[in-house]
Amino acid sequence: MKTLSKIFGVSFLVFFGWEFSSAQANNNAGNNNQANQAPSVLLPQDGAFKPEDVSHHRVVPPPFMRYADIMWKERIWRVIDTKQKINEQLYYPIQKNGNRISLYDLIREGLLAGEIKAYDFNPADMDAISLQLTLTEVKNKLSSIDTIQDENGNMTPVPNNVTSDKIRGYLIKEDWHFEKQRSVLDPRILWICPRIVTINKNTQQEDPTAGPTSLFWVYFPDLRPMLAKTPVFNQQNDAAWISFDDIFWKRQFSSYIIQVSNVFNRSISVYMKGLDALAESDKAHDNIAAVEHNMWQY
């Protein structure tokens, strides 16, 4: 018995010594790390209250629809002009300001991080979306090198980067449905495409005679999680923050229709110009409202 007690006592002392040595080594390592790190400065609260953390907000899924319940559907392409005052929330800030960022910079960061994918834009057929762009192809669209000729005839390379200030709007592809189970006319945004100014390669200035250039398509449902977590400046109330997803979900933007699904697969600009094209766009809006009105019987 005495032998067993001695063995147990020695084992306990060895184990206790090993634990103490490990703890002491961890404390020394922690002290060394703290000594190497610069002391953190705790800033005071910037505001009368702590703002709500928006990173945990999730996307509200759209209502489920069955094909058998769709009584009417029409595909529409519309343009959001960022020069209009109501659309300034999508354009500003040109440079990132705190937790606020422009819609283009958000899309750009998502593409470069691999969170979303870009697809080739075909101006001849806007309904055809089949080719997914690689990361290298996306970078080439976002940044390019142009050459200009000086007075002496020398060619000089000039970088042409697509920045937020060059964005002139967004092209949206969406479907409008009338669903009989809920008896509502429901729009669903499918794709979104940034549009930038057309740069004259000789002068490196905006070409006023050419319209905006469309970059690429981005699948809107894949973009929504990023939109829901990004705050947007609320022009009516700083305390009630909104997100990019709120703007699109609640249709808080101004736009005009450039194409409606038709047998010729052509846009309005092909057969209408100037004010006539705007009148045709308004007519397309009125036709959608008339469809919903005619679904009801009085």
Give the distance from CA 116 to its chain's centroid: 9
CA distance 283 to 259: 12
Residue of 107, 80, 96, 100 whose CA lies nearest to 252 = 80
DSSP state of 199: B
Q: Is the pTM of this model over 0.95?
A: no
Unique residue bearing structure tokens 């409008």:
176
Q: Give the pLDDT of the chain (298 residues) as one tens digit per residue.
A: 445 455 444 444 444 444 444 545 555 545 555 445 555 677 787 777 676 666 667 888 998 999 999 999 999 999 999 999 999 999 999 988 878 899 999 999 999 999 999 999 998 889 888 899 999 999 999 987 766 766 777 777 777 788 999 999 999 999 999 998 888 899 999 999 999 988 766 666 777 777 889 999 999 999 999 999 998 988 888 888 889 999 999 999 999 999 999 999 999 999 999 899 999 999 999 999 888 888 776 5
Based on its alpha-carbon atoms, the radius of gyration of the chain, rounded to whole angstroms, reads: 29
